[in-house]
Chain A
Amino acid sequence: MTSEHGTPTPAAGPEPTGCPVGHPAGGGGTAGGASDPRRASRRRFLGGAALTAAGAAAGVAASTALRGPSPVATAAPLTLADLDALRAQATVPFYGEHQAGITTAQQDRLMFASFDLVTGDPVAVAHLLGTWAAMAARFTAGQPVRSGDVRPEQPPPDTGEASDLGPYSLTVTVGFGPGMFDERFGLAAKMPAALRPLDQLPGDSVLRPEISGGDLCVQACADDPQVVFHAIRNFARAARGVATMRWSQLGFGRASSTGAGQSTPRNLFGFKDGTNNIHADDTAATAAHVWVDASTDQPWMVGGSYLVARKIRMEIQSWDAAPLADQERTFGRVKTTGAPLSGGTEFTPLDLAAVAGTGSGPAIDVAAHARLASPEENGGVRMLRRGYNYTDGQDSRTGLLDAGLFFICFQRDAHEQFSVVQTRLGSSDLMNEYVAHVSSALFAVPPGLTGPGDWYGKALFDL
C-alpha cells in the first residue's frame, strides 16, 4: 500500500508530493519558503533531523548532495541504497528544551500507546519514568536497551527486532494522563487545570472508553514501522508490574506536515490535509499556540504541551461513492492540487468571502471542513496537528474497511484550542457524514529532558 519512502496513496495529482527518490532534483535551487512545497520533497529524507554516523564516503557524498543547493551538480549520483542508508541513520536529538516528536518534522510511521498505572507507589512510577527516559535516549540514538554481554541463561534485555535497523529519526514523546493526579500518588496539587477531562463534544456519542484515556502515553514516531514497534514493545516490557498497556494504535503515511520543508500529505479521503498547520520553524506560532509558558498554573509544565489523540474512523466506502464535486465541497478544496475552492494554489489563503462562480453562495461552503477548521472562523485558534492514517484491517461484522485518521494535536490548552475547533466541526462539518470519533484522550506532555539522569516529570515528582 505504501512505498517505503512515499506517501500512502499513489499520487492523485500531477505533482509528486511525497516520493523524493524518483525526483531528487525536483526542488531545484530556488530558495523557496512556506510557499514552495516542492522544496520539501527533496528535504524530506532528512526530516529536519541531524544526520549522524554518515562516516562512509557514500554517506558523506549523499549528505552533501541532499543538502546542497544544487544536488544535480554534485559528484556521485546516489543510489537507492545510499539514500536508505542515510535515512536509516538519521537521528533526532533527544535532549532539549522540549520533547522531540512535537515540532520534529513528522516521520512516516507511528505507534502510540496508552498505559494504565497498576501500582499505588509513586516511587515505582518515578522509577519507570527514569527507566523510560534512559531507554528513549538509547533507542533514539539507535542503541538497544542495554549494551554489554547477554547471559545465555537469561532473556535478552532487548527484544532484538530493531537490531539491524537504524534509528530512522525515531522520536519518543511521553505524556501524563489525568489519572497520574488522582488519589493514588499524592500529586493532586500538581494537576494542571488544563488537564481536566475534555467536555463531551458534539459527535462524541460513539466514543469507546476501552480505547480512550489512560494514565501515561507514549508516542513513538520514525521512518520505519519496526523501529516504532520495538520502542513501544520494550517500554511495555519495562513497565511490567507498574503499568499495563490500555490501548495502542499503529499509524502510517503521516497525515500532517509540521515543517515548511514538508509537503502536505494526503489523508485516506485522498485530500491534502493540514495545509495551514503550524510549522515548526514558525517559532512565533509555536510559542503562541504550542508551548506552555510561565503563565501556567503548574511551573513543572513550562516548555511542555498538551496532546489530544482522537481516533477518527472514516466511512471510506461511502466516501468513494460520493461525486467529486461533493467531496471537494466537503473539504472546501480542489482534490488534485489542494487549492482552496476560492482560487489560487495550495498555499493561497482561504478567501472565505469569495462567491462561487455560479454566483449562488460562497465559493467555500459554510459547512466546509477547511472553513470550519480555519483560525479565522475560530477566533484565531490554531494547533499543531501531527496525525497519521491508520487501518485496523476490516470490520469483520460489516465487511467494510476499518480505517481512518489517528488525529494527534499539540497545543497550550486543549480546552481553548482543540475543543473550540472540534465543537464547531462536530456540530456542522459536512465531513461528519463520513467520519466518527471512536476514541479520545488528553495528556500533559512535560518539557524536554536536560541530559542523562533527567527524566520525564522529574520536577513534578520532586523526589
Chain B
Amino acid sequence: MSSATSTRRRAPRLRTATAVALAGVVLAGCGSAASGASPAPAAATSTDATTSAAPAATGPAGEAVVAVAVTDAGGCVATPDTVPAGAVTFNVTNVDAVGVSEVELLSDQRIRGERENLAPGFDATFTATLDGGSYELYCPGASTDRTPFTVTGEAAVSSGDTAALLQQATVDYADYIDSQVGFLTEAVAALQTAIDAGDLTAAQNAYAAARPYYERIEPVAESFGDLDPAIDLRIGDVGDPAAWTGFHPIEQLLFEGGTTVGAEKLAATLVTDIGELQSRTAELSANTRADAADGDRYLVDEVANGAVALLGEVQASKITGEEEFYSKIDLLDFQANVEGSLQAFAALKPALNEIDPALVTDVGTRFDTLLALLDTHRDPAAVGGFTLYDDLTDAQITELSNALSTVIEPLSVVPSKIATA
C-alpha cells in the first residue's frame, strides 16, 4: 500500500488542514505497536446482507438470541436482558413505536451494532460478539430509549493489559468501519435508483441519507489516495471539470440544477467506487482481526489520529459551509464527522481508561456538550434533518466552532498518550 499522502490529489488547501493528522492514518505495510498480545477476536459483526465484508462471528458455540421489542408503551425491551459472553444475535421488532427508526447496541458510548430503517411493523437483525460487561440498547425516539443489557462471563481482554486493549481498539474500529461502509453501500444504491427513476425529491433525500456514512469514515476513505478524490472531490479541487466524479457533481445537479438528468452515469460510477471502497476496507478489517503480520491493517495510532482528523474536517470545510455548497446540508456532515470521531475515540476508551482516565472523562463530557448543541439545530422538515447552512446566523456558527474547538483541544492529546503508553 502506498502512502496516502503521496497519492492524495485533494486540493492543497485541504491537505494543509489535515496533513498532520492524516500522516498518522497512513496504512503501514506491516507490524503493529500492539501486537504483543493476541487476544481472542471479539468482533461486532453486522449480519446485514450488504455488509458481506464482515466475516462470520467467531464466538463460542451456542449463540445467544435476544428478542428486542420496541413498543411505545414499554420502550426498548430485551428478552432475555442478560446473556453469557459470546456471539449474540439481536432480533429487533418495532411493534408500534412511531418515533423509532433505529436501534443501537452501546457499550460506553461505543456502537457495537446497529440497524436503521425500522418502522413500526418491521423487523431487523444484527449480531455482535460481546465480552462480559454492561451494555445499553438505545432506541432513539422511544418513550424509554435506553435499556440496560448485561453480558456475563469473562471479558476476552483482561483489563489492565493496555497493549491488548489497544489491539482490541483496532478490531473494534474495524467493525465500526465495516458497518458504516455496509450502510453506505445500501445508501448509494438507493441514490442510484432514485436518479435512474428521475425522481428528484427522492434523489435529494437519498443524497442526504448517504452522506453521513461517508463522512463518519472519512479518515479511512481518505487513506485511499485514488478512491477518495473520485468519490468526494469538490469542483474547486478538480483540474479538469469534465473528470469531476463522485458525490458533489451529483449534488450540484440535484440541488442547483434541480434535475436528475445527467446524473445517471455519475451515480453508477459512485456505486462502483463505493463497492471498491467496501472491498478494500473489508481486507483491512480482516487483516486487523487476524492481527496479521502481513498486509495493511488499522493501527492504533491511526485510529487516534483519525478521531482528531475528523474534527479537523469539520473545522476546515463544514463550519465554513464549503463541503455541501449546493445542498447546504453541511450540519449533517458536521454531525457525522463528530459521530465518527466519537466512535474512534470510544474504541480507544478501554485502553485510555488505563492510561489517563481523567482525559477520557474530559473528552467524553465535551463530546456530549457538542452533540447537544448540534441537536438544537435539528430540523426534521429540512433535507438531511438539520437547519440548512445558509439559515445559520454568524453567532450560531461561532458557537458551533467554539464547541468544536473545545473537543479538539483535549482529543488532540490522545495520540501522544497512546504512543507513549
- Where the two chains meet, the residues of A that have a C-beta atom closer than 8 Å to any C-beta of B are 118-121, 123-124, 126-131, 133-135, 137-138, 145-148, 151, 153-155, 157, 184, 238, 240-241, 452-455, 458, 463
Which one of A129, A153, A452 lies within 8 Å of B376 (CB-CB)?
Answer: A153
Q: A146-B99, A458-B121 are in contact. List 9 more A-B contacts (CB 8 A).
A: A123-B117, A130-B94, A134-B96, A146-B72, A146-B98, A153-B372, A154-B378, A454-B121, A455-B121
Inter-chain CA distance A41–B249, complex, in Å, is 66
Q: Is the CB of A127 within 8 A of B122?
A: yes
Which one of A121, A131, A241 lies within 8 Å of B119 (CB-CB)?
Answer: A131
Q: Which chain B positions have C-beta within 8 A of A454?
A: 121
Q: Nearest Cβ in chain A — how far from B74, in angstroms?
A: 10
Which one of B93, B117, B143, B372 lies within 8 Å of A148 (CB-CB)?
Answer: B143
Q: Is the CB of A146 within 8 A of B119?
A: no
User: In this assembly, does B71 line the interface, its C-beta being within 8 Å of a C-beta of chain A?
Assistant: yes
Q: Is the CB of B120 within 8 A of A133?
A: yes
A-B contact pairs, 17 of them (CB 8 A): A118-B199, A120-B194, A120-B197, A120-B199, A121-B202, A124-B202, A127-B101, A127-B117, A127-B122, A146-B97, A146-B141, A153-B378, A154-B380, A157-B98, A240-B381, A452-B96, A453-B96
**Which among B95, B96, B194 has the highest number of chain A CB atoms within 10 Å?**
B96
Q: Nearest Cβ in chain B — how far from A447, in angstroms?
A: 15
Q: Nearest Cβ in chain B — how far from A449, in angstroms?
A: 9
Q: Known contacts A134-B96, A154-B375, A238-B98; decide if A126 and B119 are in contact (CB<8 Å).
A: yes
**Which among A120, A146, A155 has the highest number of chain B CB atoms within 10 Å?**
A120
Q: Known contacts A154-B375, A458-B121; decide if A118 and B98 are in contact (CB<8 Å).
A: no
Q: Which chain B positions have C-beta within 8 A of A118?
A: 199, 201-202
User: In this assembly, does B395 line the interface, its C-beta being within 8 Å of a C-beta of chain A?
Assistant: no
- Where the two chains meet, the residues of B that have a C-beta atom closer than 8 Å to any C-beta of A are 71-73, 75, 93-99, 101, 117, 119-122, 141-145, 190, 193-194, 197, 199, 201-202, 205, 372, 375-376, 378-381
Q: Known contacts A146-B143, A453-B96; decide if A121 and B193 are in contact (CB<8 Å).
A: yes
Q: Is the CB of A148 within 8 A of B142?
A: yes
Q: Is the CB of B201 within 8 A of A241?
A: yes
Q: Is the CB of A131 within 8 A of B375?
A: no
Q: Which chain B positions have C-beta within 8 A of A126?
A: 119, 122
Inter-chain CA distance A453–B379, complex, in Å, is 28
Q: Nearest Cβ in chain A — how far from B159, in angstroms?
A: 35
Inter-chain CA distance A238–B380, complex, in Å, is 10
Q: Is the CB of B375 within 8 A of A147?
A: no
Q: Which chain B positions have C-beta within 8 A of A128?
A: 119
**Residues of B contacting A: mostly:** loop
Q: Nearest Cβ in chain A — how far from B383, in angstroms?
A: 8
**Which among B72, B117, B119 has the highest number of chain A CB atoms within 10 Å?**
B119
Q: Which chain B positions have C-beta within 8 A of A133?
A: 120-121
CB-based nearest A residue for B73 = A147
Inter-chain CA distance A197–B98, complex, in Å, is 33
CB-based nearest B residue for A143 = B72
Q: Is the CB of B199 within 8 A of A119?
A: yes
Q: Which chain A positions have C-beta within 8 A of B376?
A: 153
Inter-chain CA distance A458–B120, complex, in Å, is 12
Q: Is the CB of B144 within 8 A of A148?
A: yes
Which one of A120, A134, A146, A151 lies within 8 Å of B121 (CB-CB)?
Answer: A134
Q: Which chain A positions have C-beta within 8 A of B194?
A: 119-121
**Which among B71, B95, B202, B381 has the highest number of chain A CB atoms within 10 Å?**
B202
Q: Is the CB of A453 within 8 A of B120?
A: yes
Q: Nearest Cβ in chain B — how far from A446, in angstroms?
A: 13
Q: Nearest Cβ in chain A — how far from B227, in angstroms?
A: 27
Q: Nearest Cβ in chain A — how far from B248, in angstroms?
A: 22
Q: Nearest Cβ in chain B — how far from A454, in angstroms?
A: 6
What 3 pairs across the A-B complex have the smallest Cβ distances?
A: A148-B143, A134-B120, A127-B119
Inter-chain CA distance A187–B380, complex, in Å, is 30
Q: Which chain A positions have C-beta within 8 A of B101?
A: 127
Which one of B119, B190, B197, B381 lies within 8 Å of A184 (CB-CB)?
Answer: B197
CB-based nearest A residue for B204 = A241
Q: Which chain B positions have C-beta within 8 A of A124?
A: 202
Q: Which chain A positions have C-beta within 8 A of B381?
A: 240
Q: Is the CB of A147 within 8 A of B72?
A: yes
Inter-chain CA distance A114–B156, complex, in Å, is 57
**Which among A118, A155, A238, A452 has the highest number of chain B CB atoms within 10 Å?**
A452
Q: Which chain A positions have C-beta within 8 A of B375?
A: 151, 153-154
Q: Which chain B positions have C-beta within 8 A of A138?
A: 72, 96, 98
**Which among A138, A146, A157 has the highest number of chain B CB atoms within 10 Å?**
A146
Q: Nearest Cβ in chain A — how far from B305, in angstroms?
A: 32
Inter-chain CA distance A184–B205, complex, in Å, is 17
Q: Nearest Cβ in chain A — how far from B16, in angstroms?
A: 35
Q: Is the CB of B121 within 8 A of A130?
A: yes
Q: Is the CB of A453 within 8 A of B95?
A: yes
Q: Which chain A positions have C-beta within 8 A of B144?
A: 148
CB-based nearest A residue for B118 = A127
**Which among A126, A133, A453 has the highest number of chain B CB atoms within 10 Å?**
A453
Q: Which chain A positions have C-beta within 8 A of B121?
A: 129-130, 133-134, 453-455, 458
Q: Which chain B positions have C-beta within 8 A of A130?
A: 94, 119-122
Q: Nearest Cβ in chain B — how far from A241, in angstroms?
A: 5
CB-based nearest A residue for B194 = A120
Q: Nearest Cβ in chain B — how far from A180, in angstroms?
A: 15
Inter-chain CA distance A430–B141, complex, in Å, is 57
Q: Is the CB of A145 within 8 A of B199?
A: no
Q: Which chain B positions have C-beta within 8 A of A120?
A: 193-194, 197, 199, 202
Inter-chain CA distance A121–B97, complex, in Å, is 22
Q: Is the CB of A452 within 8 A of B71?
A: yes
Q: Which chain B positions have C-beta within 8 A of A131?
A: 98, 119-120
Q: Is the CB of A452 within 8 A of B122?
A: no
Inter-chain CA distance A120–B202, complex, in Å, is 7
Q: Nearest Cβ in chain A — how far from B137, in angstroms?
A: 16
Q: Is the CB of B95 within 8 A of A452?
A: yes
Q: Known contacts A127-B122, A130-B122, A458-B121; decide if A147 and B202 are in contact (CB<8 Å).
A: no
CB-based nearest B residue for A135 = B98
Inter-chain CA distance A130–B120, complex, in Å, is 5
**Which among B101, B121, B376 has the highest number of chain A CB atoms within 10 Å?**
B121
Inter-chain CA distance A147–B72, complex, in Å, is 7
Q: Which chain B positions have C-beta within 8 A of A134?
A: 72, 96-98, 120-121
CB-based nearest A residue for B120 = A134
Q: Nearest Cβ in chain B — how far from A305, in angstroms?
A: 22
Q: Nearest Cβ in chain A — how far from B368, in angstroms?
A: 14
Inter-chain CA distance A118–B71, complex, in Å, is 29
CB-based nearest A residue for B206 = A121
CB-based nearest A residue for B144 = A148
CB-based nearest B residue for A151 = B375
**Which among A119, A128, A151 has the highest number of chain B CB atoms within 10 Å?**
A119
Q: Is the CB of A119 within 8 A of B202?
A: yes
CB-based nearest B residue for A458 = B121
Inter-chain CA distance A129–B120, complex, in Å, is 9
Q: Which chain A positions have C-beta within 8 A of B201?
A: 118-119, 241
Q: Is the CB of A145 within 8 A of B98?
A: yes
Q: Nearest Cβ in chain A — how far from B126, in angstroms?
A: 17
Q: Which chain B positions have C-beta within 8 A of A154?
A: 375, 378, 380
Inter-chain CA distance A242–B142, complex, in Å, is 22
Inter-chain CA distance A137–B71, complex, in Å, is 13
Q: Which chain A positions have C-beta within 8 A of B120?
A: 130-131, 133-134, 453, 455
Inter-chain CA distance A131–B202, complex, in Å, is 18
Q: Which chain B positions have C-beta within 8 A of A238?
A: 98
Q: Nearest Cβ in chain A — how far from B132, in angstroms?
A: 31
Inter-chain CA distance A147–B122, complex, in Å, is 20
Q: Nearest Cβ in chain B — how far from A448, in angstroms?
A: 14
